Amino acid sequence: MSKLRSVKGMNDVLPEDAARWHRLESTFRELVGRYGFGEVRTPLVEPTDLFVRSIGEATDIVEKEMYTFEDKGEKSLTLRPEGTASAARAWIQHSVGGKHPVSKWFYLGPMYRRERPAKGRYRQFWQAGCEIYGDPGPYVDAELIDFVVRYLRALGIQDIEVLVNSLGAGGTRDRYRDALLEYLRPHASELSEDSQRRLERNPLRVLDSKAPQDQAIAENAPDILDHLDEESREHFETLKSALDDLGTPYRVEPRLVRGLDYYTRTLFEVRGRGGDLGANAALCGGGRYDNMIAELGGPATPAIGFAIGLDRLLLVMAETEPKPTLDGFLVVQAKELRGKALAIAQTLRDAGARVDADLRGGSMKSQFRRADKSSAPFALILGEREAAEGTVQVKELATGEQRELPIDQVAAAIIRD
């Protein structure tokens, strides 16, 4: 009989690895709280049409990467491949715009794409993101970009690069599409197979291609910033000025288009330049999507958001000394004292201490070995005399120092947060 294993590209996180995940998540939650974001939790499964309409049919996600299936009602459903469309659907469904002129939401959870697994790129992957509805920018755009930089720095990720661009609004995309097609058509036979297939439907995707031959051709492509309408140009200049005021370093990158069709005007990407991912790996991407809400059936509403891949952050985040998951480990001298030990453990937990015990019994030596492996800084030793007197011996495992304390004083002595 073959061994049961997790699905390829969907990974377990064991307790010894979870501490670094906790740091990613707790730092993010603490920081979004300072900025006034509220959490939204959307279902893992959504109607397939939500992603087709929002992301775009001529994208890799919709064409090749979504986990889509028919439910028993013959309705097409999809495991969410990203968070923005689901959040937008929830914002529309619950008529949030009529209650709040500006909404600031964040999310944190797993997404699913059936792409080829690689380091930091999995089929179940975790994202944290923010969405802001109702503010047309550009100052909120700059604040959101600065937020990402501050989050990464709080994690100790210093070697980053911020790229910004504008896709414009109104007729900018159409004007640029025509100019780009005029440039790319003579090179069509030199493009990758994917880019040849997309060329007429969505030529901007050629600029987003990772194929070396496509990147070489894109080097001399027309500059989208030359095709901005006046209002979009002013928006982009104000964004850059606001980033300068915030002291947020950035580089204008006219070739930055990203892979999703819903973006308008501000577009940004944050890349890491070190760690296990190698040079110039994308850690975060986002931008403005002012047309999506209306296209999904809601009122015309400006919006901007970003998503950060947490799996990728783990590969560039500095290693930190793991904090003990326990404050104390109970070592019981006699079998008859296990019930008393259980009650003491519960008393200490009620007082806020993190306490474990090996209630299987065993020798004192084996229990101390378990205490050493538990990461608890203290062993709490219960013998017959201590049980009778309402005390325990508190032994600091690193130094061997030992003292006897009444049970009601133990929690305060061992908690080291």
Q: What would the pLDDT profile of 33-66 be if each residue is shown by its tens digit?
A: 999 999 999 999 999 999 988 877 656 677 778 9
Report angle CA 88, 91, 97 to the nearest 5 degrees. 125
**Is residue 379 classed as helix, strand or coil in its secondary structure?**
strand
Distance CA 324, CA 375 (A): 5
Distance CA 248, CA 21 (A): 26
Give the pLDDT mean for 156-181: 87
Give the pLDDT mean for 104-108: 98
Average pLDDT, the chain: 90
pLDDT score, position 356: 93
Q: How many CB atoms lie within 10 A of CB 67?
A: 15
Give the pLDDT mean for 343-352: 95
Helix (H) or strand (E) holding 39: strand 38-39
Q: For residue range 66-105, list pLDDT tens digits in order.
A: 999 998 877 999 999 999 999 999 999 999 999 999 999 9
Distance CA 252, CA 38 (A): 31
Q: For residue range 206-249, list pLDDT tens digits in order.
A: 887 778 888 888 888 888 898 898 999 999 999 999 999 999 99
**Domains of the chain with bracketed CATH:** 15-170+229-316 (3.30.930.10), 328-414 (3.40.50.800)
**216: CB partners within 8 A, 6+ apart:** none
Distance CA 392, CA 381 (A): 6
Give the pLDDT mean for 330-349: 92
Q: Residue 109: which pLDDT band, with cuts at 50, 70 and 90?
A: very high
pLDDT score, position 262: 75
Cross-sheet strand order for the sheet of 251-252: 38-39, 103-112, 124-133, 303-309, 281-288, 264-272, 160-166, 251-252
Q: What is the DSSP string of 122-155?
A: -SEEEEEEEEEES---SHHHHHHHHHHHHHHHHT
**Is residue 165 classed as helix, strand or coil in its secondary structure?**
strand
Torsion angle of the four alpha carbons 358, 360, 366, 369, in this order, in degrees rounded to the nearest 10 = -20
Contact 62, 261 (CB under 8 A): no
List Cβ<8 Å contacts ≥24 apart for 114-120.
114/9, 114/64, 114/65, 114/66, 114/67, 115/60, 115/64, 115/65, 117/8, 117/9, 119/276, 119/277, 119/315, 120/276, 120/277, 120/281, 120/309, 120/311, 120/312, 120/314, 120/315
pLDDT score, position 273: 73
Q: Residue 311: which pLDDT band, with cuts at 50, 70 and 90?
A: very high
Helix (H) or strand (E) holding 3: none
Strands 328-332 and 303-309: unpaired
Stronger pLDDT, 316 or 171, i.e. the higher one = 316
Contact 117, 4 (CB under 8 A): no
Pick the range with the lowest mean pLDDT from 48-62, 103-117, 324-338: 48-62
Spatial CA neighbour of 379 closest among 344, 332, 335: 332
Helices 84-93, 48-55: crossing angle, 10 deg rounding: 110
pLDDT score, position 276: 64
Distance CA 129, CA 87 (A): 10
pLDDT score, position 277: 67
pLDDT score, position 403: 95
Q: How large a percentage of the chain has pLDDT more than 90?
A: 61
pLDDT score, position 280: 58
- pLDDT of 381 above 60: yes
- pLDDT of 256 above 70: yes
Stronger pLDDT, 157 or 173, i.e. the higher one = 157
Rg (CA), the chain: 27
Stronger pLDDT, 18 or 151, i.e. the higher one = 151
Stronger pLDDT, 95 or 116, i.e. the higher one = 95
- pLDDT of 279 above 60: no
Report angle CA 353, 355, 356 to the nearest 5 degrees. 170
Provide the whole-model pTM.
Answer: 0.86
pLDDT score, position 218: 84
- pLDDT of 321 above 70: no
Q: Residue 274: which pLDDT band, with cuts at 50, 70 and 90?
A: low
List the end-to-end C-alpha distance of the chain, in Å, as a whole number.
47
Q: How large a percentage of the chain has pLDDT more than 70?
A: 95
φ and ψ at residue 405, rounded to 5 degrees: -135, 145
Give the pLDDT mean for 313-326: 78
